[in-house]
Amino acid sequence: MQWSKNLELGVAKIDAQHKELFVQADKLLDRSQQSRIPQTLDFLKGYVVKHFSAEEALQKISLYPKAPFHHGLHVDFVNKFKKLYDQFLSAGEKLTVVMAINSMVTNWLKDHILVHDKEFADYYIKKMGLQKR
């Protein structure tokens, strides 16, 4: 799945990180990048944690009331990703696992962005007195 304008939230830092997550997930299925799949997975594994921390920091400073619930969604994603990542490391047929990881990452992100992150971004922009870009 490609990044699209309807996924933009209006919070530059978060939008940039979301775009990077989609770019990296797309690399998993790019034939020209197949030799780099382990590095891409390692990058994703670290980057989602970095992204979630950045998002949760904004939730904290804005006193977002749904922050604990949102954090739980992030923890759930990290656990699912780790399970698939571990399957990749131990799998004989890695392509199936790579496709599952790509699907999980892009589908989860799309749904999470459009529902939960959008709700937070609208709250954050209003609470912090920002202009939606």
**DSSP string spanning 38-103?**
HHHHHHHHHHHHHHHHHHHHHHHHTT-TTHHHHHHHHHHHHHHHHHHHHHHHH-SSHHHHHHHHHH
Query: What range defines the domain where residue 67 resides?
Result: 10-127
pLDDT digits (tens, 9 = 90+) for 47-78: 999 999 999 999 999 999 999 999 999 999 99
Classify residue 123 by burial, with Cβ atoms within 10 Å: 0-12, 13-18, 19+.
Answer: middle
Judge whether 2 lies within some domain. no
Judge whether 22 lies within some domain. yes
Decide: pTM greater than 0.85. Answer: yes
Judge whether 53 lies within some domain. yes
- Residue 43 pLDDT > 70, yes or no? yes
Q: Is 122 helix (H, G, I), strand (E, B) or coil?
A: helix
Judge whether 132 lies within some domain. no
Judge whether 94 lies within some domain. yes
Q: What is the CATH number of the domain that holds 68?
A: 1.20.120.50
pLDDT band for position 133 (50/70/90)? low
pLDDT value, residue 20: 92
Task: Give the count of domains, the chain.
Answer: 1
Judge whether 133 lies within some domain. no
pLDDT digits (tens, 9 = 90+) for 2-38: 788 899 999 999 999 999 998 888 888 887 777 888 8
pLDDT value, residue 83: 92
Give CA–CA dist 18/13, Å, rounded: 9
